[in-house]
Amino acid sequence: MEARLEQPAAADRRPWPYHDFWGKHGPVNVLLTSMDRGWSGLSAQLCSVSKAVIPWTTPQSDIRMCVDVRGNKSFIARRAPGIESRIVVRRGTAWLSPPGLQEGSVDIAEDMSGMLHIYLPVSHFSPGSFDNDIGGSAIGALRYETAFEDPLLAEIGCAIASELQNETSAGSLLIGTLASSLAARLVQKYATASSAQSCPRRTVQGLDRRRLLRVLDYIEANLEGDLSIERMAAIACLSRFHFARSFRQAVGQSPHRYVSAKRLERAKALLMHGDRPLVDIALALSFSSQANFARAFREATGLAPGQYRRKLGSRQPVKSLTY
């Protein structure tokens, strides 16, 4: 039986805030949600939508982006003051709605599945979030696109959908990194030229050995705790976006892959050197349920956690859990 785990609340970890709106105003079936994942940086839901004309509105505090991650080939018409878009969607088609867009409607000609709704807080566009000080001016200058195709945004959307479908031990960290990359891409491609050019680019030092060791020590000490891209970037004294790139250059893999590998090592050690309940191990390693932990562990090792414990638990001497 799957055990659901409560995640501690945090200021930037809001539950999906628009479920009630879609439930009341549109034939939308929520397939998967980030509500119980403890994500920071963005909220997301994977949905299927029936043929209908449904209201379209945008909150004042977030950017909303919808991405077709399935490839539905449905005709969609979107209407709002100053915007009228008609397109046959395919995998990667996206719609961007910066805060402040007035209400409109969406006409969906055929049933659709695999529609990802992403809400990105405007805090990602605050000064210091990127390598150059674009700051809050960029968010106000994001163009009100209709429908468009962007391969990089499509891949980011597919990565978010994949984490919704198959939770990983470093999923929250991955989402934080993707949120920063998504914000950077929006500024790079969809901010007006005058806004992007108005702020000179500054040079930021990379991740030197001293700061790298400080970050690695922090990761090791918090494998069974809350590891966020924001906190690691702060320890390295870099922006979130620049930290992710610098970490990859220094270590050879992204922060979330490094943390995922370290947590797998920790999970193996906990299983071999004790009788700690599986649900406790799942919670400690940032999974939302024991079932998701078991699935991820089996994919990585070929064995379920219980099988791994029974097979290898008696063969290894007890060692320190510090690596």
Residue whose C-alpha is closest to residue 227's, from 269, 266, 186 = 266
Distance CA 58, CA 63 (A): 8
Asked if residue 137 lies in contact with residue 181, where contact means CB atoms within 8 angstroms, the answer is no
- Asked if 241 and 130 touch (Cβ cutoff 8 Å), the reply is yes
Whole-number Cα distances in Å, 149 to 56, 154, 184, 193: 20, 8, 17, 19
CB 241 within 8 A of CB 181: yes
Q: What is the pLDDT of residue 315?
A: 52
Rounded CA gap, 305 and 95, in Å?
Answer: 41
Identify the helix (H) or strand (E) that includes residue 301. Answer: helix 290-301
* pLDDT tens-digit profile, the chain (323 residues): 333 333 333 333 333 444 444 445 557 788 899 988 888 889 999 988 888 888 877 666 778 888 998 888 888 888 877 677 788 888 888 888 777 656 788 888 888 888 999 988 877 776 554 444 444 444 545 555 567 888 888 899 999 999 999 998 888 889 988 998 888 888 777 765 444 444 444 444 568 888 888 899 999 998 888 788 888 888 888 887 788 888 888 888 888 889 988 989 999 998 988 788 999 998 888 888 889 899 989 988 899 999 898 888 655 444 444 43
* Pair 283, 267: CB distance under 8 Å: no
Q: What is the pLDDT of residue 319?
A: 47
pTM for the whole structure? 0.69
d(CA 322, CA 76): 54
For residues 143 and 134, give the distance between their C-alpha atoms in angstroms, rounded to a whole number.
15
